Amino acid sequence: MSTADARRAPVDRTSLSWQRTAMHAAIVALFAAVTSFQLGEPAVAISAAVLAGVTIIVGATTPRVTRSDVEQRDPWMLMVRTVVVLGASALVALMLVVAVALEL
């Protein structure tokens, strides 16, 4: 392993970690959409599916951290995108809980 590769390794791991977190949250949103459809909540299912699709796209298109220079390594945008995906997934879960609670 070269010196440049050794210096890039922590940034690569951090970048991939944030991408995995975003994709896991998107998958949770997708499961919530499927569950709401199975529970007979079509409005929630449609809006949850749209949000899940958006979260999957945002999570999948997260750019990697600039790796050319040590000074340019800033994972801030990865964290922001992950927070957006987590927030959208939480919104999907909240919509499902509210829809099921109102039916009781």
Range of the domain at 69: 3-103
Q: Which amino acid is at 1?
A: M
- Calculate helix-pair angle for 76-103, 3-38, nearest 10 degrees: 10
| Global model pTM greater than 0.85 | no
Residues 6+ apart with CB under 8 A from 82: 18, 21, 22, 25, 59, 62
d(CA 8, CA 12): 6
Q: How many domains does the chain have?
A: 1
pLDDT tens digits, 37-53: 888 888 888 887 887 78
pLDDT tens digits, 26-84: 788 888 888 888 888 888 888 878 877 877 787 677 665 555 555 555 667 777 878 88
